[in-house]
């Protein structure tokens, strides 16, 4: 079995599980909101994991994850409005902070938000609300816990998109047997893009078919 590259577990030294000296804590409030923490988790789940290596992550992840010894798939779960979705982790390049999107002149597509700078590269940002039939939510909650919007960078072959989302839950590993089928009745706009649902004790997320998503974006954006 190959050894995993050492992960910079700064959360254990200067983060909330360390001495709390990280300057980013003022911005994120908690390590789980930091993009470094989120992307480190994604990187970890994509590697072949030696026995016992996940013990540290099991202890520090404050959000519920699906426990399955025979997990054969993984997805990144995120929220749009009040609904949760999962997208195959193998097409997720990274999760970034929510940054400014610059509109394009004469853009006609409702899906296309504009362009965004990701680590010096200009990428197209697209909204999935209309495509998935999800209403945008106005946050009027009195919950004191701060929720951070994110940009998810996805790529399949040469096609790359940036998706603004309202919240990222995290990477979840699961067994395909846990995926529940779609209802046999007429499909909604949302269900046309889904292959099923995955449940945890707290949420139910619709798993997006990446091929259908990329095909639809290619047809409706340009």
Domain residue limits, the chain: 1-62, 67-221
Residue 86 near residue 199, CB atoms below 8 Å:
no
- pLDDT average, residue stretch 131-138: 85
**77: which 2 tokens?**
């779960």
Residue 4 reports pLDDT greater than 90: no
Length of the chain: 222
Q: Please state the pTM of the whole predicted model.
A: 0.69
Q: What is the pLDDT of residues 148-200, one digit of tens each?
A: 899 999 999 989 999 999 999 988 888 888 899 887 765 778 888 999 999 87
CATH fold, domain 67-221, is OB fold (Dihydrolipoamide Acetyltransferase, E2P) (2.40.50)
What pLDDT band is residue 43 in, cutting at 50, 70 and 90? low
| Secondary structure (H, E, C), the chain | CCCCCCCCCHHHCCCCCCCCCCCCHHHHCCHHHCHHHHHHHHHHHHCCCCCCCCHHHHHHCCCCCCCCCCCCEEEEEEEECCEEEEEEHHHEEEEEECCCCECCCCCCCCCEEEEEEECCEEEEEECCHHHHCCCCCCCCCCCCCCCCCEEEEEEECCEEEEEEECEEEEEEEECHHHCECCCCCCCCCCHHHEEEEEECCCCEEEEECHHHHHHHHHHHHC
Residue 141 reports pLDDT greater than 70: no
């Amino acid at each position: 079995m190959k050894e995993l590259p050492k992960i910079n577990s700064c959360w254990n030294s200067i983060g909330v599980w360390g001495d709390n000296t990280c300057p980013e804590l003022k911005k994120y409030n908690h390590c789980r909101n930091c993009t470094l923490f989120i992307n480190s988790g994604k990187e970890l789940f994509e590697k072949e994991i030696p026995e016992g290596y996940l013990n540290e992550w099991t202890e520090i992840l404050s959000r519920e994850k699906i426990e399955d010894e025979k997990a054969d798939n993984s997805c990144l779960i995120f929220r749009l409005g009040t609904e949760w979705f999962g997208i195959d982790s193998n097409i997720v390049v990274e999760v970034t902070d929510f940054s400014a999107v610059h509109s394009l002149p004469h853009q006609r597509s409702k899906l296309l938000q504009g362009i965004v700078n990701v680590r010096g590269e200009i990428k197209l940002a697209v909204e999935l609300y209309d495509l998935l039939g999800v209403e945008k939510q106005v946050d009027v909650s009195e919950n004191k816990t701060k929720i951070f919007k994110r940009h998810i960078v996805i790529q399949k072959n040469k096609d790359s998109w940036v998706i603004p989302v309202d919240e990222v839950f995290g990477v979840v590993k699961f067994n395909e047997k846990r995926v529940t089928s779609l209802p046999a009745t007429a499909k909604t706009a949302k269900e046309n893009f889904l292959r099923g649902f995955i449940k945890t004790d707290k949420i139910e997320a619709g798993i997006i078919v990446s091929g259908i998503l990329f095909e639809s974006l290619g047809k409706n954006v340009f």
